[in-house]
Structure formats: structure tokens, C-alpha cells
């Protein structure tokens, strides 16, 4: 069996300071997912898994829901099953659609479910924020009760060892981090959403596909894509396949020894058509300086630009250690 696994599509995500750029951002999230589904078709996948955070908010606009489900229903006509669970942004429940009830290839699973797909069985559950370890114990118990089945666990949780951010913060031994040591051997893999960076954890037992597109400048150094999983008898192989991602740029400007923002800004080549974040570091900004920045970078002329801090009395430290200027092609 060949499986394409993805997660964190965040349909409805808006970026930009104008209606046009926000609309373009929403369309970009749709296109990122469509391209992965097209990859699933071209690579002759037998199954597609979606690991949660399908939408960017718990109550997405009707137009956002319709577009997302239109994409999924169009894909389902290829006779490839798609299994999806809700994440924390979805508030653990995916919006209902009558069309889903009439398509046997679409499985939106809003509760702990054991789904037998012949060659492999999907054991899934929606995001659990209150007691994830308790439900994971139930998952281990169900897997043990079904020893004859090859099981892939699909979820949207934080696993021990997960890495995040430009400083590579590692989540370990937290109250909500999960470990796979109690899962039986018939659980081949755990596929999870939630962390937006692709990674392999816990001796190849847990995989994050990562988000389909960048939703934060914290992800600027991370490639985006999907997992291609091949399962044959007792053997399985997991590959990360990179896809095109939106270009981003971060400028970190040290203002510790200057009170003239205008002079240091003019030295920078600020791109109008690239998502750009300017970080002023090593001293705080006054109210008048923040007011100056809003006036210097009007939304109409700089619809894709953000600056930080946007409140006085906040001092930012250097975020990116390797280079002052970082673009999308540099990865940790």
C-alpha cells in the first residue's frame, strides 16, 4: 500500500494588510493542498491521510469550507480514500457536509475510530488537549486487541522530542507530550499533525508531515511538503517529498546604538512583493517611533510587510543566530 500523508492545511489562513493579499493568502493554502493531492494521483497512492488543522479557525467562513470540501470531493472521484481528523484549530471537530455522507472514499473522523481499509487499519482520534496520555493509552489497548491488523495511528498531538522554531526548541517530558513505548509492534507508524516542521521521532515510530505552507515567520527556514509511505509485508518506507513554498524574508536590524530609524531603514532593500518581517532588536521602540513606522510603511504600498515590536517597552533579542538576513532557501 502507498500512502500520502499531510496535515495542517489551515484553510482560511490570511496574511497581508489588504483585502487582496489576504485573498491571495487563502488561495495559496488551497493550491498547496491541491498540489499534494495531485502528487497523490501521479504517484498512484492508495490512501491519503490528513493529520488535522484542516482549517485555520474553529468557525471558518462558509466560502472557505465550501472551497476546501470542493477540493476534497473532486479528488475523491479518483477512487482514492481520504481520511481526515480535526486538530486544535478545528476545536477537535470538522464541519459537517452532507456530501461526505454520499462518498464512501471520504472519512472525516471526529472521534476515536478504528477504520479497516483492508491492507492497513487506521486508528485515529481528534486533537485531545485535556488528557492526551489517557486517550493514547486507549489507543495502545485497542491496537493490542487487534494484533492481526497492521495499524497506522493518525492524530494531532505533541510527541516527546518534537522540535520547533529557529532555536530548535525541543518538547520533552512535558505533561502533554506522548511516547510510543507502550504501543504494540503491529502499530507500524504514528502520523501526526500539529508541529509544522517535518521530522522523524522516537526511533522512526512517529512522523510529522509538517504544514503544507508557511503560516509564520518562525517557519521561514523549514521546507514544506508531504510524506510518501510505502508499506509491504513487514517492511515500510517513509520519504519526505518537498513542495514549493511561499517566499519569506526576515530583516533583523540592530538599533541599540541609533535613535534614527529612518537612516537604518533606508539602508535596507525591502522587497514589496515578498512577505517580509523587520525585527528591531536590542532596544525598545518609543510610541513616536512606532507611529513613524506605521506612516513609513503604509499598507497600500507595503501590503506584505510586518515589523516587530509593535508595542513600546518590548526589547527583542536576536532570533536568527547564523545570519542577519535569512531567506526561504536556508534550512536548519
| 257 and 224 inside one domain | no
Whether 196 maps to a domain, the answer reads yes
**Number of domain units in the chain:** 2
Please give the pLDDT value at position 204.
Answer: 95
| 133 and 254 inside one domain | no
Please give the pLDDT value at position 134.
Answer: 96
| 213 and 269 inside one domain | no
| 238 and 91 inside one domain | yes
Please say which residue of 223, 243, 263 terminates a domain. 243
Whether 80 maps to a domain, the answer reads yes
Question: Does residue 33 contact residue 71 with C-beta atoms inside 8 Å?
Answer: yes
Please give the pLDDT value at position 331.
Answer: 36
| 173 and 308 inside one domain | no
The pTM assigned to this predicted structure is 0.92
Please give the pLDDT value at position 99.
Answer: 60
Q: Judging by DSSP bridges, how do beta strands 82-84 and 305-308 pair with one another? A: unpaired
Q: Which residues contact 111 (CB under 8 A, 6 or more apart)?
A: 125, 126
Question: Does residue 307 contact residue 280 with C-beta atoms inside 8 Å?
Answer: yes
Whether 113 maps to a domain, the answer reads yes
Whether 260 maps to a domain, the answer reads yes
| 138 and 38 inside one domain | yes
| 252 and 151 inside one domain | no
Render pLDDT for 6-45 as a digit per residue (tens, 0 to 9): 999 999 999 999 999 999 999 999 999 999 999 999 999 9
| 222 and 259 inside one domain | no
Whether 332 maps to a domain, the answer reads no
Please give the pLDDT value at position 212.
Answer: 98
| 223 and 254 inside one domain | no
**CATH number, domain at 66?**
3.60.21.10
Please say which residue of 225, 243, 261 terminates a domain. 243
Whether 121 maps to a domain, the answer reads yes
As a three-state string, the secondary structure of the chain is CEEEEECCCCECCCCCCCHHHHHHHHHHHHHHHHHHHHHHHHCCCCEEEECCCCECCCCCCHHHHHHHHHHHHHHHCCCCCEEECCCCCCCCCCCCCHHHHCCCCEEECCCCEEEECCCCEEEECCCCCCCHHHHHHHHHHHHHHCCCCCEEEEECCEECCEEECCCCEEECCCCCEECCCCCCCCEEEEEECCCCCCEEECCCCEEECCCCCCCCHHHCCCCEEEEEEEEECCEEEEEEEEECCCCEEEEEEECCCCCCHHHHHHCCCCCCCCEEEEEEECCCCCHHHHHHHHHHCCCCCCCCEEEECCCCCCCECCCCCCCCEEECCCCC
The list of the chain residues with pLDDT below 70 reads 98-102, 320-332
Render pLDDT for 265-313 as a digit per residue (tens, 0 to 9): 988 889 899 999 999 999 999 999 999 999 999 999 999 999 999 999 9
Range of the domain at 177: 2-243
Please say which residue of 243, 264, 289 terminates a domain. 243
| 239 and 260 inside one domain | no
For residue 271 the three cell numbers come to 522587497
Distances (CA, A) of 199 to 125, 244, 323: 21, 18, 24
| 10 and 118 inside one domain | yes
Please give the pLDDT value at position 328.
Answer: 35
| 155 and 70 inside one domain | yes
Amino acid at each position: 500500500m502507498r500512502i500520502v500523508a499531510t496535515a495542517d492545511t489551515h484553510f482560511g489562513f490570511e496574511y497581508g494588510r489588504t483585502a487582496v493579499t489576504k485573498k491571495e493568502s487563502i488561495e495559496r493554502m488551497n493550491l498547496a493542498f491541491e498540489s499534494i493531492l495531485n502528487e497523490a494521483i501521479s504517484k498512484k497512492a492508495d490512501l491519503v491521510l490528513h493529520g488535522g488543522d484542516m482549517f485555520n479557525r474553529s468557525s471558518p467562513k462558509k466560502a472557505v469550507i465550501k472551497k476546501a470540501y470542493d477540493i476534497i470531493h473532486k479528488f475523491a472521484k479518483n477512487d482514492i480514500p481520504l481520511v481526515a481528523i480535526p486538530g486544535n484549530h478545528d476545536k477537535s471537530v470538522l464541519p459537517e457536509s452532507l456530501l461526505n455522507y454520499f462518498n464512501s472514499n471520504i472519512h472525516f473522523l471526529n472521534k476515536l475510530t478504528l477504520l479497516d481499509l483492508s491492507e492497513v487499519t487506521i486508528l485515529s482520534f481528534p486533537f485531545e488537549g485535556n488528557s492526551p496520555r489517557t486517550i493514547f493509552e486507549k489507543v495502545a489497548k485497542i491496537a493490542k486487541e487487534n494484533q492481526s491488523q497492521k495499524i497506522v495511528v493518525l492524530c494531532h498531538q505533541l510527541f516527546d522530542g518534537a522540535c520547533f522554531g529557529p532555536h530548535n526548541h525541543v518538547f520533552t517530558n512535558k505533561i502533554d507530550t506522548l511516547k510510543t513505548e507502550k504501543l504494540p509492534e503491529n502499530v507500524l507508524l504514528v502520523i501526526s499533525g500539529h508541529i509544522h516542521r517535518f521530522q522523524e521521532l522516537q526511533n522512526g515510530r512517529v512522523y510529522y508531515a509538517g504544514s503544507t505552507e508557511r503560516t509564520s515567520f518562525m517557519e521561514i527556514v523549514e521546507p514544506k511538503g508531504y510524506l510518501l509511505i510505502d508499506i509491504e509485508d513487514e517492511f515500510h518506507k517513509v520519504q519526505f517529498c518537498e513542495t514549493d513554498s511561499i517566499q519569506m524574508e526576515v530583516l533583523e536590524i540592530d538599533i541599540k546604538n541609533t535613535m534614527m530609524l529612518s537612516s537604518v531603514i533606508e539602508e535596507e532593500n525591502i522587497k514589496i512583493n515578498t512577505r517580509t518581517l523587520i525585527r528591531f532588536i536590542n532596544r525598545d521602540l518609543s510610541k513616536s517611533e512606532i507611529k513613524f513606522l506605521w506612516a513609513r510603511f503604509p499598507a497600500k504600498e507595503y501590503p506584505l510587510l510586518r515589523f516587530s515590536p509593535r508595542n513600546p517597552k518590548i526589547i527583542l533579542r536576536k532570533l536568527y543566530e547564523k545570519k542577519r538576513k535569512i531567506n526561504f532557501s536556508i534550512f536548519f
